[in-house]
Structure 1
Amino acid sequence: MSNKMTGELGELVKSGDGKIHTGPFGSQLHASDYVEDGIPCIMPANMKNSRVDLTSISYISELDAKRLSKYLVKENDIIYSRRGDVTQKALIRQNEAGYFCGTGCLLLRPGSNFDARFLTYYLSTSEIQKWIVSQAVGATMPNLNTGILSRLPFNGPEKLEQSKIADVLSVIENKIELNNQINTELEAMAKTLYDYWFVQFDFPDADGKPYKSSGGKMVYNKVLKREIPEGWNNGIVQDIIDKVPSSNRVPTKEFKDTGEYPIIDQSQDFICGYTDDESTVIKPETAHVIFGDHTRVVKLVNFDY
């Protein structure tokens, strides 16, 4: 017995008591119907990385949600953008159940034949996205409809195997999301720190107190046309930094996957390879800032490289 499931998405969804239908039309929900607080209304602009992005989301009243209850989403539904970037979609998770499928969207309810997480990953593959774009209609703006989505070809495992695959992929995805959140928080902390130090001048003084707020002396700077902490001055970068001493260059063809010393270049990767050639090594006494003259990538290095 084969554990493969093959066919058009619409038929496979329908046989599992799922459905694919269009979201409400503009005539059913007008711009004047949106309210400041109520039921979140998912629009194409609220789809990001196959998730619902609550940034700048609109709301409808509970009365309108009840009137148009067929468009309220359930956990494991997939909402698709119907116009523009027709590859945009969002998987509805537990805390988003009861939100509203807004205008400009299609609602895909996978049914019992699918693990919704696996189907979302499947729909995110480049091959399927290219298929969707190639089938979209419209001379000026691509449009997706229920017919196109229903004809989408599916060739994959049955649900039990789908769930096993989705479990693994979900762990990786959640780790990536957590890392992105950490990066966002660190960036916000860096901006706050910069503001305190170089805008408000409330860096810690000798007693660990905020300098300016604690009465630290400020002096007027004619060039900057503002007061700055006593002892501070203005200048240009080339006057206040030293250039890193040069060393022997490591040819790209000699980069190793492992080695004694990491190689730093101007690519996005922090470390691009390794070498054992000590004549190429720079040993910083204090941290070095590496600035890519073409890529503009900036790296902070505080180890031998």
Structure 2
Amino acid sequence: MNDEIKSMRLTDFVWFQRGFDLPQSKFEEGEVPVYGSTSILGYHNVFKVKAPGIITGRSGTLGKFQYSEIDFWPHNTTLWVKDFKGNDPKFAYYLLQCLDFTVFNSGGAVPSLNRNLLNAYVVNVPPLETQTRIASILSAYDDLIENNQRRIKILEEMAQQTYEEWFVRMRFPGYETTRFDLETGLPEGWEKARLKVFCELIMGQSPKSEFYNEDKIGLPFHQGVKDYGFRFPAHKSWSKEGNKRAKANSILFSVRAPVGRLNVAAEEIILGRGLAAINHNDGLNSFIFYQLQKIFFEDNLIGGGAIFASVTKNDMERIELIYHGDLAKKFNDFAYKIDNQILNLTKQNQRLTEARDILLPRLIMGLIKV
């Protein structure tokens, strides 16, 4: 290890402060992010802390860090770095991610981060110049990942807006000369029918626990929405057995709370009890995906505005869809190309994340010269 690297207590490296109370009912419209323990809770018109900042949860989920480059409000469920003690803030953010904060759990059923225990943690810290170089290397990966995420969001919005233009506002190609059926309210030649008419539905069934593994034996296994990213779920476990499967490009639908969360399978996977797979009979899955995304614009919402903790196969088969063969195919051809771009960008981000995560501890520990 480099002789210039100094060992010190964590509290001599950075100093944590408890966040500030702000009930959601008190949020005022603004652009200041209010950070919770794992994500942004919303936005407010007043900040409490000037950027840059590092925020982590003080109860519940421990060891997940967020970095803010703009002034922010850390919620009272969090701890935030009040004093960087002259260290590079971005380097501190990366170093903290290498630590196992679960050892600080002073709670019972709900983990709680005890600040008094932080003093016992010893970290190895290089000189400021080295900190800045390490932060720059790792930030380059994060910048690429963030740029891809922005591109994914733009692509998704493009497809969704086109869907709404054609199938909600009814401004589809040729709409100017199309007649509407006064009885149904739909353009002539369109139909409305339940999901079971157009699609095959497979309900998940979790395999026995002895078949699970993390050694990539068998097929990726997914239990529910908690494993998912923005699109195309990233899997953490595999199963050697399981008859309920989704093929690549299947629409994944959460049948347990939050009901109606959607995703797309990037490969063949085994479906757990919390998931169902949907496939259009003629392969128009992109068309169905964006229609379902429009229907389930709120988590847990299914049919008639009722809230469900879970739904059955019958509940799902009753979901009403609108359909026009030629137009649905035309939209699907357009959206499928977008979905492929989203998949490719998602895979790029997975590779970038893996490379960064391999590099991070080696740089932090001084195993790689910078």
* TM-score range for the pair, normalised by the shorter chain length: 0.5 to 0.7
Give the equivalent residue in structure 2 for 1:182.
151
Q: CA deviation at 1:140?
A: 2.0
CA shift digits 1:259-285 (9 cap, x unpaired): xxxxxxxx979xxxxxxxxxxxxxxxx
In structure 2, what residue type is equivalent to 1:83? S
Evaluate the alpha carbon distance shift between residue 21 and residue 200 of structure 1 in structure 2; reply closer, same or farther with a 3 A threshold: closer
Q: Is the 8 A contact 2:7 2:125 kept in 1?
A: yes
1:229 alignment counterpart: 187
SS at match of 1:7: strand
- Letter of the structure 2 residue corresponding to residue 102 of structure 1: H
Within 2, Cα distance between the matches of 1:198 and 1:77?
44
1:164–1:103: structure 2 CA closer, same or farther, 3 Å change rule? Answer: same
Partner of residue 110 from structure 1, selected from 84, 99, 113: 84
**2:60 paired with 1:57:** no
1:152 paired residue among 118, 121, 127: 121
Looking at structure 2, the residues matched to 103 and 6 of structure 1 have their Cα atoms a distance apart, in angstroms, of 31
Letter in 2 for 1:216: T
Deviation at 1:232, TM superposition (A): 3.9
Instruction: Supply the distance in 2 between the matched residues of 1:39 and 1:179 (Cα, whole angstroms).
Output: 23
Distance, in Å, in 2 between the alignment partners of 1:43 and 1:232 is 46
What secondary structure sits across from 2:76 in the alignment?
Answer: coil
Paired residue secondary structure (2:60): coil
Q: Select the structure of larger CA radius of gyration.
A: 1
Please state how far the C-alpha of 1:172 moved relative to its aligned partner. Answer: 1.6
Q: Secondary structure at the match of 1:226?
A: coil
Please report how far the alpha carbon of residue 166 of structure 1 lies from its aligned counterpart in structure 2 after TM superposition.
0.9
Q: Which one of 119, 137, 140 corresponds to residue 92 of structure 2?
A: 119
How far is 1:294 from its partner?
4.0
Equivalent residue, structure 1, for 2:162: 193
Change (3 A) 1:193 1:37: closer
Distance 1:231 1:34 in 2: 50
CA contact (8 A) 2:56 2:62 kept: yes
Q: Among 104, 117, 137, which residue is 2:106 paired with?
A: 137
Instruction: Give yes or no for contact 1:73–1:92 (8 Å, CA) kept in 2.
Output: no
Matches within 5 A, 1:285-304: 291=250, 294=269
- Contact 1:39/1:100 (8 A) holds in 2: no
Aligned partner of 1:4: which letter?
I
Instruction: In structure 1, give the amino acid aligned to 2:34.
Output: I
Do the aligned partners of residues 103 and 187 (structure 1) sit closer, same or farther apart at CA in structure 2, a change above 3 Å counting? same
- Say if 1:198 and 1:115 are closer, same or farther in 2 by CA, change over 3 A: same
Taking a change above 3 Å as real, the CA distance of residues 104 and 231 of structure 1, as seen in their structure-2 partners, is: closer
Instruction: Give the AA of the match of 1:20.
Output: F
Q: Give 1:123 shift.
A: 1.5
Instruction: Trace 1:200-215 onto structure 2 (pairs within 5 A).
Output: 200-205=169-174, 211=175, 214=176
TM-score w.r.t. length of structure 2: 0.48
The one-letter code of the counterpart of 2:90 is R
- Equivalent residue, structure 2, for 1:169: 138
Q: Secondary structure at the match of 1:229?
A: coil
Q: Give the CA deviation at 1:177.
A: 0.9
Paired with 1:33 and 1:75, the residues of 2 have a C-alpha distance of 25
Alpha carbons of structure 1 residues 229 and 92: separation in structure 2 relative to 1, 3 Å: closer
Q: 1:229 to 1:172 in 2, by over 3 A?
A: same
Aligned to 1:143, the other structure's residue is in SS state coil
The SS at the match of 1:182 is: helix
- d(CA) in 1 for partners of 2:29, 2:249: 48
| Equivalent-residue separation in structure 1 for 2:94 and 2:140 (angstroms) | 13
1:268/1:201 Cα in 2 relative to 1: closer, same or farther (>3 Å)?
A: same
Indicate the RMSD between aligned Cα atoms, in angstroms: 3.7
Are the counterparts in 2 of residues 22 and 107 from structure 1 also a CA contact under 8 Å?
yes
Partner residue, 2:226: none
CA deviation map 1:194-223 (0-9, x unaligned): 122223321121xxxxx1xx3621236xxx
Give the 3 Å change call, closer, same or farther, for CA 234–76 of structure 1 in structure 2: closer
Gaps of 5+ in 2: 200-231, 235-247, 251-266, 271-276, 279-284, 287-335, 341-370
Match of 1:22 in 2: 18
**CA 1:227/1:39 → structure 2, altered by over 3 Å: closer, same or farther?**
closer
Aligned residue type for 1:22 = R
